[in-house]
Structure 1
């Protein structure tokens, strides 16, 4: 199994960053790679339980992902399972994501650990997706300054 670890520092407090990674109204401003929007979702990472999102590109292709929020430890971390749905609607292999927040002298560090990704190729595609998604979060938070 392959794992992915990403780190980014944001110039806001851990409490503010936690709000940006858990509240639906904030999540929808940055969730998903660049060029995609979210026409359907149940994104609320404040509580344990099911979640899902459909990401749609400009050509109308849809990418459905879902899972369970497994833990919430405000304002330090959230964990959730992750599985893509196939064209037939069936969930594929499940992986595990943890968002961890730590205070830094510059603000807060967000650590994304995405585990159990199967192959290096799958991990590489997820790294591209998360990196693009984090660019969106960086842009949104930069606009707040």
Structure 2
């Protein structure tokens, strides 16, 4: 990815990179991103819950999820799976839907799962964010979502 030119100056691309070291096997961590019953338990920021999850897990397959605010406002997102390499890597597009149900600006998410002894390192990368406001909002949202994911993954691993 090359820097963008804005106003004659070089600017790094808008991307989010987050890392978590999680006390769970990577095969489980991969499943938690790809199985609806698990996604329903952690998808979304801290103050939101998943109300609908649809997954067609194949390259080119679609996904669509809805998160719900405490006040009942829905936020729908969707995308397509671009690369599926269990349990190492998952790549998909991500777009928020507008009020008419049409996808907005498309971004790309890459997840990498690396074994670290009894832990797994998750590297989350989201690229092609449209602007600095969206970058800030999504960084905070994904940090919270990954905190929920980590807690759920570790609890699920202990139970299993």
Superposed pair shares fold, TM > 0.5: yes
The alpha-carbon deviation at position 122 of structure 1 amounts to: 1.0
1:94-127 deviation line (CA, Å, top 9, x unaligned): 0000111011134100111000002222111111
Q: Which has the higher contact order (CA 8 A, sep 6+)?
A: 1
SS, match of residue 33 in structure 1: coil
Report the alpha carbon displacement of residue 38 of structure 1 after superposing the two structures with TM: 2.0
Match of 2:58 in 1: 47
Aligned partner of 1:78 in structure 2 is 90
Are 2:152 and 1:140 aligned? yes
| Aligned-pair Cα RMSD in Å | 1.5
| Match in the other structure for 2:40 | 28
Q: Structure 1: which 4+ aligned runs deviate by more than 3 Å? A: none
- 1:27–1:43 Cα contact (<8 Å) kept: no
Distance 2:36 2:82 in 1: 17
Larger CA Rg, structure 1 vs 2: 2
Gaps of 5+ in 2: 1-12
Q: Which runs of 5+ in 1 are unaligned?
A: none
Q: Show the counterpart of 1:67.
A: 79
- 1:91 and 2:103 matched: yes
Q: Distance in 1 between matches of 2:91 and 2:75?
A: 21
Shift of 1:17: 1.5
Equivalent of residue 115 in structure 1, options 107, 127, 147: 127
Q: TM-score, length-normalised on structure 1? A: 0.91
Helix, strand or coil at the partner of 2:80: strand
